[in-house]
Amino acid sequence: MALQCGIVGLPNVGKSTLFNCLSNAKAQAANFPFCTIEPNVGVITVPDERLMKLAAIDNPPSIIPATVEIVDIAGLVKGASKGEGLGNKFLANIRETDAILHVLRCFDDDNVTHVDGSVDPVRDRQIIDMELQIKDLETVEARIAKVQKQAQTGGDKAAKRLYEILVQYREALQQGKSARTVWLDNKDDRKMARELFLLTDKPVLYVCNVDEASAKAGNHYVEAVREAVKDDNAGLLVVAAKTEAEIAEFETYEERQMFLEEMGLEESGVSRLIKAAYTLLELETYFTTGKDETRAWTYVKGTKAPQAAGIIHTDFEKGFIRAEVIKYNDYVHYNSEAACREAGKIAVEGKEYVVRDGDIMHFRFNV
């Protein structure tokens, strides 16, 4: 199953508007399709100027971009951890995602009612974070009850370490902090932690939904959020969802760019949000390109060459011999694979090679 980002937020903060903008995203000159898996799940193309430059060099009939799945999760209310509103469904949906885009209302508009009667993004963030923390605390305490005796008397080193990790999480959660604020520098510890599936351990990007006037520089609401999340090990992005909806209405790339320039923006908020979601999931891109097809392939950061080959086809991984790698800048500079080969810019890499973002790959295999 593909990695997913879940869009969360209180009702009427603009998260569904953002999701609809994403679903209609025309971030590049080429209009790639948006696919709906379910009513609230979309497969969205990742804007990548490199793909278009490679395609301009090789001029293939087929251009295939990288994608990321975005899930619009039902609005949450206070008491979700106890089943209030759509609480149980919300928590189940968010547990299935790999990262969170947390939309916060950072604009004033008397025509858009706030569920709590006033605009306060810091309070709104705390409402959702607290509900998730309560659920995580229940999970942690249940696991502690199971492993404590074994850890303290059984001589099981793994159980002892798991208990110590659980205690760290419990302390953080009891202090109103998210699990992601607990730093584990040991690889085995992080593996144990991931298997707990804690809601607040997921990477999060706070998306501040602002009015058009604040799209470039933000506003006092954004600054309040920035201060509130500075120790939360999380990212922050400013987007004007209403304005993005207007941008999505333009038919041509040129019209969209002209509108952005008038606002003093180089890139649409939707485009930045898709890229941020991709990064949040720790995803990177390698390319294959030639006269038949230019394609972006998605892999998890740190993937080695055989596993990257397996993304194309399992036979590529099983029979992996070597990878021929051209760096993106070299390909653009020399303007063809043949010229890169002549200039000695093709590296031959083995099974231990860690793929780098932007690599242009050609795999040799034998099955």
Question: Within 10 A of 203 (CB to CB), how many other CB atoms are there?
Answer: 16
**Has residue 86 got a pLDDT over 70?**
no
State the pLDDT at residue 88: 61
Q: What is the pLDDT of residues 188-206, one digit of tens each?
A: 888 888 888 898 999 999 9
Question: What's the CA gap between 17 and 20, in Å, rounded?
Answer: 5
The structure tokens 């740190």 sit at 302
Residue 261's pLDDT band (cuts 50, 70, 90): confident
- In this prediction the pTM is 0.81
Predicted pLDDT at 27: 37
- Assess whether pLDDT exceeds 60 at residue 80: no
CA–CA gap between residue 132 and residue 80 (Å, rounded)? 9
Those residues with Cβ within 8 angstroms of residue 88's Cβ, 6 or more apart along the chain or in another chain: 80
Question: Percentage of residues in the chain with pLDDT exceeding 90?
Answer: 45
pLDDT at position 1 is 43
List beta partners, residue 238.
208
Task: Of 9-23, 85-99, 135-149, give the lowest mean pLDDT range.
Answer: 85-99
Mean pLDDT of the region 144-149 = 87
Separation between Cα atoms, residue 208 and residue 206, nearest integer Å? 6
DSSP SS3 for 210: coil
**To the nearest whole percent, how much of the chain has pLDDT over 70?**
89
pLDDT tier, 52 (very low <50, low <70, confident <90, very high otherwise):
very high
Cα–Cα distance for residue pair 17/12, rounded to 1 Å? 9
Contact by Cβ (8 Å): 238, 222: yes
Reply yes or no on whether the pLDDT at 157 is more than 90: no
Structure tokens that stand for 191 in this block: 């593996």
Asked if pLDDT for residue 218 goes beyond 60, the answer is yes
pLDDT (0 to 100) of residue 78: 61
pLDDT in tens, 226-246: 999 998 888 999 999 888 888
Ordered alpha helix ranges (H), the chain: 15-23, 49-58, 87-96, 121-153, 157-174, 187-194, 220-228, 241-249, 253-263, 269-280, 305-312, 314-318, 328-334, 337-342
